[in-house]
Amino acid sequence: MNVRSFFSAYGLRMWVSAFFLFLYIPIVVLVIFSFNESPTLYQWGGFSTHWYAELFQSAEVWQALRNSLYVASFATFLSVTMSLLLVYFGSNLRRFFPLFYGSLVIPEVVLAVGLLGFFSLFTVMLGFSTLIVGHTLLGLGYAVPIVSSRYDELEKHLTEASLDLGASYVQTFFRIILPLLVPALVAAAILVFVISLDDFMIAFFCAGGTTQTLPLYIFSVVRAGGSPMLNALSTVLLCFGSMLIMLIAALRMRKIFMFGS
């Protein structure tokens, strides 16, 4: 086998393998050093769970986590509810649905600066309310396409049959449409929740000085010089996010099994 045939046969495999190694080796190192006893970030000093114990005893971490969960829960509820109502009752507005892709195309820093300018224009005090509004706007860019695509896949004769049998639009919505949209709603809710929980840029511009989410707390610790406790915190967040991703994948597989591809 000459060099050209060797690279045509194995070049792509080697490139993909190198890409995944480059992507996942830092994560593996992060997890390993979360059990490091040394107070330095990346100097091995022996196996220990000291930083996990310090993590779960830190009042600042728990307060930042509560703030993040509070904001993410409200933003998820508002994003999913608004997208559901918009998709079902806003049939006349469907031509404007591509506007919701703006939060996916526009750089997040531009969206964050725009929100900050909007709040400043109307002299809105920055805090939980502005942070929830920003994360809701960001979440709509993900929730609306997911719910809309699933709604378009539904059999229209089910709605027509329900209306022909005397049900109102509201009754049809709760008894026919909503049960069929539950997998898409759950998937959209999990995705928006993870994005809101992980968001830094909008939180940095729209949280104000009195509200600190978990990403803002991590940023402040890194600016102060870093702490090995961040390795433990990042590992816990990695496990939590992985479980949510597996849940989304399970819902996707359930959807394919029930309704087909």
Instruction: For 2-31, give one letter per residue: b (16+ CB within 10 A) or e.
Output: eeeeeeeeeeeeeeeeeeeeeeeeeeeebe
Compute how many other C-beta atoms are within 10 angstroms of the C-beta atom of residue 224.
8
| pLDDT for position 9 | 62
- Reading the chain (261 residues) residue by residue, the pLDDT tens digits are 565 666 666 777 788 888 888 888 988 888 888 888 887 767 777 888 888 888 888 899 999 999 999 999 999 999 999 999 888 887 777 777 777 777 778 888 999 999 999 999 999 999 999 999 999 999 999 999 889 888 888 887 888 888 888 888 888 888 888 888 988 898 899 889 989 998 999 999 998 888 899 999 988 888 877 778 888 888 988 888 888 778 777 766 765 555 554
The architecture that CATH gives domain 70-259 is Orthogonal Bundle (1.10)
**Residue among 53, 20, 51 nearest 33 (CA):** 51
**Residue among 147, 144, 176 nearest 159 (CA):** 176
| pLDDT for position 79 | 95
| pLDDT for position 258 | 55
| pLDDT for position 256 | 55
| pLDDT for position 51 | 86
CA 166 – CA 177 distance, rounded (Å): 16
